[in-house]
Amino acid sequence: MVQKNYNVVAGFNLIAPAYDLANDAMTLGLHRLWRAKLCKTAADLAPQKGRILDVATGTGDVLLGILRLRGDLSLTGVDPSEGMLNVAREKLEKKARLFSDSLHIRTGDARRLPFADDSFDVVTISWGIRNVNPFQEGLREILRVLKKGGSIVILESGKPEFKPIGAAYKYYSKLLPFIGGKISGFMPAYRYYTETVDAFPSGAQFVGELFDCGFVKANYKTLGGSIVYLYTAQKPRD
Ligand SMILES: C[S@@+](CC[C@H](N)C(=O)[O-])C[C@H]1O[C@@H](n2cnc3c(N)ncnc32)[C@H](O)[C@@H]1O
C-alpha cells in the first residue's frame, strides 16, 4: 500500500548524498548499464546540434551519459529536488567542466515545466515518471515542450513479465528498503520505491497511457529480464 502523505521531493533531498551508492548496491551496478541504453537511444534520436531535456534528472547521470556520446548537443536537466541537483552540479563541475556552455540545470516539476512549447528534440526521463503524480500530467507537459516529431525516451522499473524473474524479484524487492535504508539512513524513501513499482503500470499498459496522452509510435523493450522497461514514443508531426 503506497504511503499517501509521503513527500517524494523531501525524501530525495534526504537521500541525495547516498543516492548513487545505494543504486550501485541495490542493482550491483546494473543501473548504469540500463541507463546507458536510454542514453544511447536518446543520442541516436537527436539531430545534429539538437536540444535534449532530461526530466527528473536527479544526480545528473543521464546528462553525463548523453554528453559522452554526443558532444554537439545542448543538454538541460530539470528536477524539483535541490538536494539531488546539488549532487548533479558538483558531478558536472568535476566531470564535464569543459562542456559547461552546453549543460544546463533548472529547478522544476515535470507537471509545470519551465520551458516554452516545441522546445526540445528529445526528452528523457529515467526512473522519474513513477514519482510524478499524476504521471499523465507529466507526460502531457513533456508532449507540450517537445518539438513536433520529437521523441520521448523513458526508463522505468516495472512488474516483471517473465514469471521466474517475477518470483525472484518479489523476494529481492523486500530486501531493497533495508539495503537502501542502511546506506542512505532513510528507509521510507526505499519503502516508497518498492511500493510504487508494484502500483505503477508497465509494459503494454504504460504504452497505452502514452497513446492516451497524445503520443504516437509508442513502443517498449524490456531490460534485466523484464524488471526494467525502456519506452519510446513521438509527438505527432501535425
Ligand atoms: C529515482 S530518481 C532518478 C534520478 C535520475 N533520473 C536517475 O536516472 O538516477 C527520481 C527523481 O525524480 C525526481 N522527482 C520527484 N518528483 C518529481 C516531479 N514531480 N517532477 C520531476 N521530477 C520529480 C526526484 O527529485 C528524483 O531526483
Name the grid cell of 122: 528529445
Ligand 1 atom 19: the closest Cα is on which residue? 132
Q: What is this structure's pTM?
A: 0.95
CA of 127 to the centre of ligand 1 (A): 7
In Å, how far are 91, 164, 189 from 58, measured between CA atoms?
Answer: 11, 32, 14
Is the CB of 60 within 6 Å of ligand 1? no
Please report the domains of the chain, with CATH numbers, ordered by start residue: 29-159+202-234 (3.40.50.150)
Is the CB of 131 within 6 Å of ligand 1? yes
Cα separation, 47 vs 231, whole angstroms: 19
**Ligand 1 atom nearest residue 193's Cα:** 1
Q: How many CB atoms lie within 10 A of CB 150?
A: 25
Is the CB of 55 within 6 Å of ligand 1? yes
- Tens-digit pLDDT string for the chain (238 aa): 556 678 999 999 999 999 999 999 988 999 999 999 999 999 999 999 999 999 999 999 999 999 999 999 999 999 999 999 999 999 999 999 888 899 999 999 999 999 999 999 999 999 999 999 999 999 999 999 999 999 999 999 998 887 777 778 787 888 888 888 888 888 888 888 888 888 899 999 999 999 999 999 999 999 988 899 999 999 999 8
**At CA 187, angle to CA 186 and CA 188, rounded to 5?**
100
Ligand 1 atom 25: the closest Cα is on which residue? 81
